[in-house]
A and B are shown apart, each in its own frame.
Chain A
Amino acid sequence: MIRTLKTLAMVAACVSFSGILALSIWTIAGQPAPVNLPQLLSENMARSGVEHPVTAVLLNFRSYDTLLEIGVLVIAGIAGISMAKTASLEDPELRTSDSLLYGLQRWFVPLMLMLAGYLLWAGAHRPGGAFQAGAVLAATGVLMRLGGVPMDFLRPGLLLRLGLVLGFTVFLLVAVASVIGGDAFLAYPPELTKPLILIIESVLTLSIAMVLLALFVSAPVNDAEDPEEGSS
């Protein structure tokens, strides 16, 4: 009885939350926004080095966001592999002999690799880019992993850690190079904008895929443990 009442109260609270929010959205939608950012964006597109506006925002106008966001991804990766203490890659349960999966893998893996490459390449002038390509690459890796491909590079070691931070490092180096050139942090030199963005996107794709795969692989657990301090 109490539980039902509490559920009802919670439902009422959430419904009224939605209602107030929707009302607020309705009110705001009725008034024009004072700043027209899309127009400002299109005026500056020529200086961004790429033709696709979303990519321009992500990797040029608001590149600091993207830099920090890759940092968030790397943090998640680090925290994930810190939980995977020893190599849990030999887990026999993962080596499925599912023929369906095997077939899927034979046909899908090359196709998905091509798709990832295409998405990366397309990012400069049409929808696509590092995130999507990285995600597809990671999905390919997950598929291969489920199919029992050992993938030794995911063992917690220097190679994995290098892979995790590769994209982040290159991004960071480009950012600081512009300071050495006497400009603001993250300002690309005008003539190099396009190649720099392409390089950043390629390494980001690899790193994003690495982090997501590492998190997928480190999810299985083992028995290692450590008493926390002061446990009495």
Chain B
Amino acid sequence: MTLWLMAGLLFTPLAWAVLTLLTDFAWGRVVTWGGIVVQVLVSLGLWLAVSRDGGFYYGLGGWEAPLGIELRVDGLAVTFVLLTAVVASACGFHAGVYIDPDKPWHRYFWPLFWFLWSGLNAVWLGGDLFNLYVGLELISLSAVGLVALGGKAAALRASLRYLLAALLGSLAYLLGVALIYGQFGTLSIAGVVFWLEDHPVPAGSGLALALMVTGLALKTALFPLHRWLPPAHGIAQSPVSALLSALVVKASFYIAARLWLELGEPLGNLAAAQLVGLLGSAAVVWGSWLALRQSALKQVVAYSSVAQIGYLFLLFPLTYSVSESVSQQAQQGITLQVISHALAKAAMFLAAGNLILSTGSNRVDALTGVSRFLPFSLFSFGLAGVSLMSLPPSGGFAAKWLLLQASLGSGQWWWVLVLLTGGLLSAAYVFRIYRASFLENSETDEFYHPSRSLEVIPMVLALMAIGLGMVSEEVLSVMALPFEEEGSP
């Protein structure tokens, strides 16, 4: 059964990609909506299977590592697979209504969407360094293609900048992989960890980890390497922006986090961990500050992503040479932060798309009076904002609470300041949008009403982001499951 689920997970998104490429936009939408149902069921099935039986290694082609490629199917991976299924299907349904079917190039939206999804699954499950590189390229190129779709000059400019940043990041990562292979003779992460367990750390391998993490940080848009993100996420169509902010940047962060948790202790050092944490804090403050000053609605949301990504990198100092329980708390906090930000930011971008559709403008000050016409979308936007501000009972609050405890538990109280400042600043930029939309303006009374289904989707996502705080125990318990070491690492 599990074998079937795995095959379904790996095979079907690629199959939908092929099918949708061969059809036009309308038929592609039918295929996609059918495919989404299958994909969600498969992801849910795998999640249930793993939460019942524990994780396992899956050797592709029947070959075990180090000769073949092994996938690591554990609680964290299937949680993210399920998260991807939820967010991507929301974006897929939204896009089916939102995107103009009459533009001939929009038929290419669906195949790119499915390739993106399959790349994400490949990254969550990947246990092989080079395979992860290919998965990252799959994600990057399809994301660039999605941003560039339509081919206006500004979109091309953003996508070119995105492409160059992504390529440079991939090369840095690949260089690190090359050093690891030269050092250990294997590409399997588990193999490297297994060998390091009972051997002294060989000289010269710190650079490999540093290169990989730097490359991935560039792809995740960690401050000060973040400058490609706001144009790309701001200019893309709203469902695409939602996908990019919610999932794509998380993929590269996920690899960096996995590498750090497995190899950080032997190969890293304290200064590097603190430096990464410091950059993350700078991202929180600087990103929020810039979000406050943007005049375009989607730029506000995009800069808010830069800030929220900053929190994720607190993982590095909070798990380096601390006690097991503190490290566990930090990991759980970061996982919740990834999930809640993915849900909240997808909701926010989709709601922002509805607002833009309604007012016909991307400017914040064009929102005046929209509260009368689109209260539902505005409310979704605000609910998602509650999670970003990390007010209880949202998922964002649960995440920051764990991070707070981890900071105090490890004696690194300075991160607490970052958590507080970030929360206050995010409250400021969310309220700024609200203030604009509640201003009354007698001049503009013409608002376009998007279809009801467009308004429901961000609301569902935002409610999930809020509700996450109440079920965080259950979500986190799947991650802590025992891992069956049946495959030879």
Contacts and interface: CB of A to CB of B under 8 A. Distances in A.
Interface of A: 20-21, 23-25, 27-29, 31, 33-37, 40-41, 44, 60-65, 67-69, 71-72, 74-76, 78-79, 81-83, 85, 158, 161-162, 164-165, 168-169, 172, 175-176, 179, 182-188, 224-232
Contact of A25 (B119, B179, B366): B179
4 A-B pairs with the lowest CB-CB distances in the bound complex, closest first: A230-B362, A33-B185, A79-B145, A27-B204
24 contacts: A20-B207, A25-B182, A31-B183, A31-B202, A35-B186, A63-B60, A68-B122, A71-B14, A71-B138, A74-B111, A78-B108, A82-B105, A83-B151, A172-B11, A179-B7, A184-B3, A186-B61, A186-B62, A225-B152, A226-B105, A228-B237, A230-B298, A230-B356, A232-B362
Interface in B260-296: 296
A24 B134 contact: no
A35 B137 CA distance: 27
B112 interface: yes
Nearest to A31: B202
Nearest to A73: B141
A185 B179 contact: no
Interface string B202-214: 1111011000000
A63 to B, nearest CB: 5
B342 interface: no
Contacts of A176: 7, 11, 15
B150 A69 contact: no
Contact of A229 (B59, B60, B145, B353): B353
B115 interface: yes
A81 to B, nearest CB: 7
Contact of B67 (A23, A44, A83): A44
Contacts of A20: 207
Contacts of A81: 108
A37 B66 contact: yes
B135 interface: yes
B27 interface: no
B300 to A, nearest CB: 12
B103 interface: yes
Nearest to B153: A225
Given A61-B68, A68-B122, A172-B18, A185 B60 contact: yes
A184 B60 contact: yes
B361 interface: yes
Contacts of A76: 141, 145
A230 B22 contact: no
A226 to B, nearest CB: 4
A79 to B, nearest CB: 3
Could you tell me the dominant secondary structure of chain A's interface residues?
Answer: helix
B7 A35 contact: no
Contact of B22 (A23, A35, A162): A162
Contacts of B115: 71, 74-75
B368 to A, nearest CB: 14
Contacts of B141: 72, 75-76, 79
Contacts of A63: 60-61
B452 interface: no
A76 B29 CA distance: 21
Interface in B92-107: 103-105
A201 B155 CA distance: 37
Nearest to B155: A228
A67 B7 CA distance: 14
B202 A37 contact: no
A121 B235 CA distance: 47
A184 B5 CA distance: 11
Given A228-B150, A229-B238, A230-B356, A61 B182 contact: no
Given A79-B112, A168-B18, A230-B361, A37 B186 contact: yes
Most chain B CB inside 10 Å of its own CB: which residue of A27, A182, A185, A186: A185
B112 A65 contact: no
Interface string B1-36: 001101100110011011001100000000000000
Contacts of A168: 14, 18
Nearest to B236: A228
A67 B18 CA distance: 13
A63 B137 CA distance: 16
A34 B199 contact: yes
A25 B180 CA distance: 10
Given A37-B185, A76-B145, A168-B18, 6 more contacts: A25-B179, A64-B131, A165-B21, A172-B18, A185-B10, A186-B60
Contact of A227 (B58, B152, B182, B238): B152
A229 B362 contact: yes
B438 interface: no
B195 A34 contact: yes
A34 B184 CA distance: 6
A68 B366 contact: no
A218 to B, nearest CB: 11
A68 B136 CA distance: 10
B237 A229 contact: yes
Given A35-B195, A64-B60, A232-B366, A225 B204 contact: no
Nearest to A162: B22
